[in-house]
Copies of this chain bind each other. A is one copy, B any other.
C-alpha cells in the first residue's frame, strides 16, 4: 500500500518521519539539544523548515519522538534478556539505560529531564511499555504491589542521579584543552578556588572519571539494599 512505484525518483527528496527523527538525534548527539532548531534540522535534510510540520506536530513533539526512539527497542531487548532472578533483570535494565546515556550523552538530558507525559512515568524510564515490563517482571518474581512500586521508585531515582551526572561529564565537548589554555596567570580555576583549599587540593582526585566503576558498585549497593528490604 505504501510502496514506492518508481525505480529511483529522487535522491533523498522524500521526507519521512523516521528520517527527521534520526537526523534530529544525530544533530543533538553532535551539538546538543539546545542548538537544534527546526531550521537547522530542515537544512540538514535539504528542505525548508515548515516542511517538517507535515510529519511532526511541533518541536516539543519532535523531541518527544526522539526520546521515544531512544527508548526504542529497549523493552524488547529486555524481554529477550530473561533472567532467573530479579537482580539479573534490574542489572540488565541498568546496563541498557546506561548504554543509552553513554552512547548519547548530549541527548540523555532529554530523556532524563523532559516533563514526563504522566506523573507515574519517572525519568529516565519514559515508556509505558518499559514501566509495564518492569512492574510485571518484578511481580512475576513474587514481589507484592508495594514492593514492585517501591523498587520502581528507588531504581528510577538511582538511574537518574547516576546517569545524568555521568552523561553531563561525558557530554562536555573536549574543546577545553586542559593544558595551555592561554591566560596562565589569572586562571579561572585558581581564582575561584583561592578560598576552597580542599577542593583545590583534591582537584585531581575529583576530576578522575570513575563513572563506570562507581556505577557498578552503586548498582550493587542498590540491589543489596532492595534484597534486604525484601527479606525483612
Contacts and interface: CB of A to CB of B under 8 A. Distances in A.
B113 A165 contact: no
Contacts of A122: 165
A135 B202 contact: yes
Interface residues of A, number: 56
Q: How many copies does the complex hold?
A: 2
A25 interface: no
A205 interface: yes
A136 B136 CA distance: 46
A113 B109 contact: yes
A10 to B, nearest CB: 36
Interface string A133-157: 0011001000001101110111011
Interface in A184-232: 189, 192-193, 195-199, 202-203, 205-207, 210, 214, 218, 221, 225
A109 B116 CA distance: 14
A48 B199 CA distance: 41
Interface in A95-121: 109, 112-113, 115-120
Q: Which of A123, A148, A150, A168 has the most chain B CB within a 10 Å cutoff?
A: A168
18 contacts: A112-B164, A115-B168, A118-B192, A119-B206, A120-B202, A120-B207, A128-B192, A128-B196, A131-B199, A132-B196, A132-B198, A148-B202, A149-B206, A153-B210, A157-B161, A157-B165, A159-B161, A160-B161
